Amino acid sequence: MTEETPGFDEKPDVPSGATPDAAEPQAASGEGAAPAGDASENAGLVAQLDQARTALGERTADLQRLQAEYQNYRRRVERDRVAVKEIAVANLLSELLPVLDDIGRAQEHGELVGGFKSVADSLETVIAKMGLQQFGKEGEPFDPTIHEALMHSYAPDVTETTCVAILQPGYRIGERTIRPARVAVAEPQPGAQTVKPAESGSEGQDGSDAEDGAGTKESGGPDEG
């Protein structure tokens, strides 16, 4: 008897109805399926990354818009706060203007003396710190935006409408006018600039005519003699 070597004559298990040659393509196809799966997984990751970037851009734009709106809100609130403060100060100082007018009249008449003068000086210091400024001077051109004309006249020595007297000084806070300066104005004399040259010319002409007549008479005297 010959001994059979186990394993040499055995054949690999092959599915029923399949040949050994058909098993090799299946193994090859199984190995090629892995790269296809990786590509689809990478495409999915890229799509998720794009979505994340898009969402991040939208959130960043929203944050920038909210920040800009907040800055505009802060500036608007600060501007309104300053405006309200200026209005409150203007209203307060408007009530003090008659007192300042009385102090000014007392000073013009030499009655601002003693304790009254100390109180007046303290009041003027306080209102100056609050930003109140006085304006209006004699001789300055009339400006209807800051002047209120209460009296009107004509004067030969002015070339434009001029404030010739300050009846009540004006007051302002910054660019805000609390009260216009109440003034008396004078305008140039109607026809003053045209009548004078004409008169001087006529006078000169009359004088020359008179001189010519006198000269004629003087020169005619010896001829007659």
d(CA 138, CA 183): 9
Residue indicated by tokens 């920040």:
67
Instruction: Give me the mean pLDDT over the 18-45 stretch.
Output: 60
Say what the pTM is.
Answer: 0.53
Q: Residue 184: helix, strand or coil by DSSP? A: strand
At residue 83, the pLDDT reads: 86
Instruction: Give me the mean pLDDT over the 52-79 stretch.
Output: 92
Q: At residue 202, does pLDDT exceed 90?
A: no
Q: What is the pLDDT of residues 147-192, one digit of tens each?
A: 999 999 999 888 999 999 999 999 998 888 999 999 999 999 887 6
DSSP state of 32: H
DSSP state of 164: E
